[in-house]
Amino acid sequence: MTLDISSPGQAEQEIIQLRQQISHHNHRYYVLDEPDIPDGEYDKLYARLKSLELAFPHLITDDSPTQRVGGTPLKAFGQVRHELPMLSLDNAFNDDDQADFNRKIKERLNSTTEIEYSCEPKLDGIAVSLLYEDGRLVRAATRGDGTTGEDITRNIRTIAAVPLRLSGDDWPRRLEVRGEVYMPKSGFEQLNQRAKARGEKLFVNPRNAAAGSLRQLDPRITAQRPLTIYCYSVGIIEGGTLPDRHSEILACLGRWGLRVCPELKVVRGLAACEQYYQTMAEKRESLPYEIDGIVYKVNGIAEQQALGFVSRAPRWAIARKFPAQEAVTTLLNVEFQVGRTGAITPVARLQPVFVGGVTVSNATLHNMDELQRLDIKIGDSVVILRAGDVIPKVSRVVHSMRPDDARDIQFPDHCPACDSELEREEAILRCSGGLFCQAQRKEAIRHFASRKAMDIDGLGEKLVEQLVDRQLVSNVADLFLLTVEQVAGLERMGKKSAENLINALDRSKKTTLPRFIYALGIREVGESTAQALATHYQNLDKLMAASAGDLQRVDDVGPVVASHIEVFFQQEHNREVIAALLAQGVEGTVSAPAAEVGEQPLAGQTWVLTGTLHTMTRDEGKALLQRLGAKVSGSISASSYSSGR
C-alpha cells in the first residue's frame, strides 16, 4: 500500500482521523448494531491505519483500534484493590421476597407513593470494572472478592464493544464503569463447535466460556473469543457530575460509547416490577444472551444514598432470580429410542427433579460419544440442565458422588423397536429396518405433520401412535385416506375432533415446495436447505431427477447432503409415497416463495434474526427474508468476531 505521506505531522493527523472514524464505526457495529458502511470499506480504513502505524511506530498508542489483538502472554495477573468495593446483590426467589424488599424500601424512605425502579436483565457473565481517565481506558479488573480483583486490562482491550476512548467530551475526568462481560449464545455454540472439531474439551455454558476467555494469560487467545459487554453502573466519579437518576446515568454511558442493555426499563411500583419479570421470563429464550434473573434498583440516586448498604450489599437493589435451570438427581436407567431416520438415541430415566419450572424425569443423552464424554454410569448423580422449552439434558456427572454399585451402560446390538441389525455411523447407531421399523414410521409421520413442515393441526404424538398401532396408517400418504369414522373411533377422539383433523389434513394439501421438501424427512435436509433446493429447482420433478453432482451446485448442499438427497429419491418406496401424496391432491409442485419475486435484492446475503421481532413472528421474518433472496442463518459466523469486524 502506498502511503503518500509527506511528513510525520501529516501522518499523525491522518492517524487521529482514522482512529476517530474506526471508533465511530466500531460503536455503530458492536454497540448499536447499526453499521453505516460495508465491511469492505471498514477494512480499508483499518488497513490504512495499520500501514501508517507500521511506518510511524512512535505514533502507536494504547487506545488505537489496532491494539485490540492482544500482546505477549502474561506470567500472572496483577492485583487491583477497588477504590469503591464491588458489592454483590441480595436475592429474591419468589413474589414474597420481592414484596418484602419493596415494603422495606417504602418504610425506610417513609414513602406513601410507589417507588420508581430501574429494571434490567441479570446477565450470566463476569462482573468487571473499567476505569477511564480523561476519557481513555487505563485499567480493567475483575470483581474478585469485591475488595480486590485481578488486573485484566490487556484482555479487556481485545473486546471490540469496550471503547478504548470515550465519545463526546462531557464525561467526568475520572470515571469507573461497571459491567458484565458475557459470551452471546451464538458465539458460545461456535466456540464449542471449533473445540469439538479439534478434539478439545468443551465449555459447560456461556458463563464458563466467558470466564475462561477473560482469564487467559495470553491476550491473543482472548482476542479470538466472541466476548462482549453490557454496562450497568458506575463507581468512582471525579472531576465531573452525573444525573440524579440511575437510568439517566446509563443513558450517559450509552452516549459516551459504552454498551447498555436495550431491555432496560423504568417502572413504578411492585406490580410493574412483577410485570417486567414476567415479560422477561417469556422473552428469555429468544434473547441472544443468557440471563438468570432481573435486577431492580431504586432509580433515584438520592434515595439510594438514603437507603445505604448492609453488610456487602446495597439496600436499594435486589436480584430476582428465575427458577433454577440446573439440578442434581440420580440416573436410574438408560433406554434407547428410535428416531425418524433410525438413529438410536439414549434417554436418561431420572429420579424426578424440579428444574427450570417443571418436574423432569427424562433427559436426552444424545449419542454414544456423549455417553463416553460424560463417563456416565447407571446410579450416578448427574446435573440436569433445562433452558425454557429446550429438551432437558444431562450436562455433567458428579463423579465424586458415584456409588460403589454404579453399573456400566450396555449398548444394544439390535433395534429395540423391530430387532433389525444396527449400523454404526461415527457416533450414531442407526436401525437398518427403514419403513419396516414401526418406530421410524411414527417419527416420520410426526415430522411430516409438524408446524414447520405440513402444519397439520391436531395430529399429535398420541394420535400418531394409535394410527400406526392400529395399522390405519403405514406411511404419510395414508393420512389423506383417513375418514371421519376411522378417526372418531380412536381413543379420546369424538366426531367433532375427527372432523377437525380431516379438515386440517385437507387444508395442509395447499403448501409450498420448501415445506413439502422439508416434510419428506430427507436426512440432513432442514428448513434452510429445503428452501435452497426449492429456489434452485422450482419444481419437484427436477429435484427428484437431480444427480448428486448437480445437487452440489445448490447453496448449503455439500457432498454428504447431496448423497442423502439422491439416495432418498432413488428409493422406489419413497417415490411411491410421493406419487401417492400427489394423487391425494397435495400440491407438491407449488413454486417456492422466492420464485414469486421478480427481483431478489438480498440474493447472496446471509441474515441472522436475534431477539424479538415486534411486527411479525420469527418464522414470518425468516420467510420474508428468504423471498427477497437472503439466506437465513441460526447464528453469527465466526468472521463477525475478527479483529476487524
Q: Which residues are catalytic?
A: 122
Closest alpha carbon to 179 in 258, 256, 242, 241: 258
Query: Which position has the grid cell 489483538?
Result: 69
Instruction: Output 459-467 pairs: Cβ under 8 A, ≥24 positions apart.
Output: 459/501, 459/504, 459/505, 462/492, 463/490, 463/493, 463/501, 466/490, 466/491
Who contacts 10 (Cβ-Cβ below 8 Å, separation ≥6)? none
Pairing verdict, β 428-431 and 343-355: antiparallel
Residue (of 93, 91, 83, 96) closest to 317 by Cα position: 91
Quote the DSSP letter at residue 93. -
Long-range contacts of 365-369 (CB under 8 A, 24+ apart): 365/334, 365/393, 365/394, 366/393, 367/343, 367/427, 367/428, 367/429, 368/411, 368/427, 368/428, 368/429, 369/426, 369/427
Closest to 105 in 3D by CA, of 119, 95, 116: 116
Sign of the alpha-carbon torsion through 56, 57, 59, 65: positive
**What's the distance, CA 87 to chain centroid?**
29
Beta strands in 183-263 (DSSP E): 228-238
Give the span between the Cα atoms of 629 and 434, in whole angstroms: 36
Closest-CA residue to 252 (of 101, 613, 260): 260
543 exposure class (CB count in 10 Å sphere: 0-12, 13-18, 19+)? buried
User: Cell match 433395534: residue?
Assistant: 415
Residue that has been written with the C-alpha cell 490504512 in this structure: 48
For the beta sheet containing 228-238, the strands, ordered from the edge strand earlier in sequence to the opposite edge, are 136-142, 126-133, 174-182, 228-238
The whole-angstrom separation of Cα 22 and Cα 40 is 13
C-alpha 521/C-alpha 101 separation (Å) is 53
Task: Give the ranges where 296-365 is alpha helix by DSSP (H).
Answer: 301-307
Question: Any idea what the Cα angle at residue 430 is, between residues 427 and 431, rounded to 5°?
Answer: 165
Q: How long, in residues, is the chain?
A: 645
What is the DSSP annotation of 353-393?
EEETTEEEEEEE--SHHHHHHHT--BT-EEEEE--TTSPPE
CB of 347 within 8 A of CB of 340?
Answer: no
b/e burial code for range 12-31 (CB count within 10 A of at least 16 → b): eebbeebbebbbebbbebbb
